[in-house]
Structure 1
Amino acid sequence: MAVRANPTLRQRRLGSELRRLREQAGLGGSQLAQRLGISPGQMTQMETAKIGVSPERLRMVASACNSLNQPLIDALANMASDRRKGWWEEYRGTLTTDFLEVAELEGHAVRLSICTTTYMPGLLQTDAYASAVFARVFPPLSADELGVRTSFRIRRQEIVRSGETPLRAFIHEAALRMQFGGPKVLADQLGALLEDSERTGISVRAVPFAVDTFPGAGENLTFAEGAVPELDTIQMDVSQGALFFDSPADLAKHRAIFSRLDSTALSEEESRDFIRSIMKVVKASYA
């Protein structure tokens, strides 16, 4: 079997879940390899996603680890059998891996929850707004790079605009007022956000400055739900790119964060009224 040079995010997650099954069973890599009748090196390569694992081999691993979590085992077997390439692979070699992995995460999610504090969620940005966000990158991008990044971001939006993947977006007032590209671009973005908020499967909730506490402040977060809760993933935007977390402790923490957001944010209708009030002020600045 050929060794993968650069395993994808999903392949790495499958490998880490194999390792988690082994560790929960209290087995060392060599012990499990012996039970499976493979070499310790093969076991390591499976867990690091350097080589693939068949659904049959995966079920053998689960059995050897005495795992009784059938929903998780079935979900992992489905991951192992899915060899389809996502549309984002067309951009490999053109964009950095961070861009591809964010799209890959979104493409396989059952539901997405987003919390933003500095700019509109990428899945709800207009073309002009997205272009203005990328235009602020330093060192500056070339016109070609700017165009590719913008078109890639717009293409990512198909999964939520089509209703294929439900989206909850909690947007802080700071992000609603922050200008990228000037007031006209922001006003158009707010208008598009209102339209998206009426779409089936998209929920937009505003978090005003007046809210006493804002969990996760300063972080733009995405909580991507998997086929089972154990396969949920958190993605965080940082200046260096995208970070991904999937430990049980991290998942529990961020489930609590989004639960608190759900209880503190404005309702969907209140949010629309709030966004309209901001849009009115922005439009007045260039009328």
Structure 2
Amino acid sequence: MTGSQAAAYLGGERAQVSHLESGRYGISAERVRRLAAFYSAANKHLVDALAQMADERGKGWWEAYRGVLSPGFLDIAELEHHATFLRSIRMLHVPGIFQTPDYARELITSAVSGLPDEEVAARVEYRVQRREIFDRPAPPRFDAYIHEAALRMRYCSSDVMRSQLALLQEVSRWPSVQVHIVPFDAYVTGSLHSVLHLGGPIPQLDTVQLDSAFDGGFLDAEAQLAR
């Protein structure tokens, strides 16, 4: 089936289908099911999960930041919202979701120079608000693997770092959170990167986010995730 055929089936333009496929436009649950039928998608669990995500799209707290922060950042919050588990590997800093406002501010301003104060404030506020997933009655399991270097790097003052370490100690006692510190003398491969693995509602929707100061890069194809 071609994009033009799909557009004709939906009663739209080819460009509209292209935008839907790339994620630039949202899509309704009803259209997800129609397209799934059109493409003869036989995996009912996958179609149901996609339809549910489409139905909830545009309703999350992160939508308040649309137009302020880049879409890649907002995608992280949406994926965390739907995640059944999360695994974070951080080589040089504490995972964003567990950062204090002061620590986050120092990281953001040192990584990207010249950001307007309003955007810095929005990034910090957004980063802290991502912790809302742990306020649920049944929060997702979060395994954080943090290299010892991240705890010793000097991004900020001693007072700010002391507060950050105190928060990290606190979250390590949360029932759904496990914090693992990777010591300097542990063997690691040269290709190890800072990543966030988000378990989707079903395995086919698992996603890996690659760390970036500017946006979120994502891997979601099975072949990519298998590497």
Q: What TM-score comes out, normalization by structure 2 length?
A: 0.83
User: Which one scores higher on RCO, CA 8 angstroms, separation ≥ 6?
Assistant: 2
- 1:47 corresponds, among 12, 21, 38, to 21
Name the structure 2 match of 1:211.
186
- Count of equivalent residues: 225
1:246-277 deviations in Å (ceiling 9; x for gaps): 11111222xxxxxxxxxxxxxxxxxxxxxxxx
The correspondence for 1:75, drawn from 49, 52, 55, is 49
Counterpart of 1:185 (choices 144, 160, 184) is 160
Match of 2:102 among 128, 136, 145: 128
Q: Which runs of 5+ in 1 are unaligned?
A: 1-26, 254-287
1:129–1:185 contact (8 Å) kept in structure 2: yes
Please provide the CA RMSD for this pair. Answer: 2.7
Query: Under a length normalisation based on structure 1, what TM-score does the superposition of the two structures give?
Result: 0.68
CA contact (8 A) 1:160 1:166 kept: no
SS at structure 1 position matched to 2:47? helix
Q: Does 1:167 align with 2:142?
A: yes
* Matched-pair contact (CA < 8 Å) for 2:88–2:145: yes
| Alignment correspondent of 1:241 | 215
The DSSP-based 3-state class of the residue aligned with 2:59 is coil
Residue 93 of structure 2 aligns to a residue in which SS? coil
What pairs up with 1:1-287 in 2 under 5 angstroms?
27-30=1-4, 36=9, 38=11, 41=14, 43-44=17-18, 46-49=20-23, 53-160=27-134, 164-214=139-189, 216-217=191-192, 219-253=193-227
Distance (Å, rounded) in 2 between the aligned partners of 1:94 and 1:76? 26
SS in 1 for 2:211: strand
Distance change >3 Å, CA 99–CA 57, structure 1 → 2: closer
Inter-partner Cα distance in structure 2 for 1:85 and 1:63: 26
Distance in 1 (alpha carbons) for counterparts of 2:4 and 2:86:
38
Q: 193-202 or 179-188, which moves further after superposition? A: 179-188
2:104 partner SS: helix
Q: Aligned to 1:238, what secondary structure does the other structure show?
A: coil
Counterpart amino acid of residue 211 in structure 1 = A
2: distance between equivalents of 1:50 and 1:195?
Answer: 38
Mapped to 2, the partners of 1:108 and 1:215 lie a distance apart of 31
**Long gaps (5+) in structure 2:** none
Q: Looking at CA atoms only, which structure, 1 or 2, has the larger radius of gyration?
A: 1
- Check whether the contact 1:167–1:201 (CA below 8 A) recurs between aligned residues: yes
Q: Structure 1 residues 73, 157: CA separation in 2 closer, same or farther (over 3 Å shift)? A: same
Q: Structure 1: which amino acid aligns with 2:167?
A: A
Q: Supply the AA of the counterpart residue of 1:203.
A: Q
Instruction: Give the match's secondary structure for 2:167.
Output: helix
Distance 2:44 2:71 in 1: 32
Matches of 2:69 and 2:94, distance apart in 1: 21
Structure 2: how far apart are the matches of 1:127 and 1:86? 21
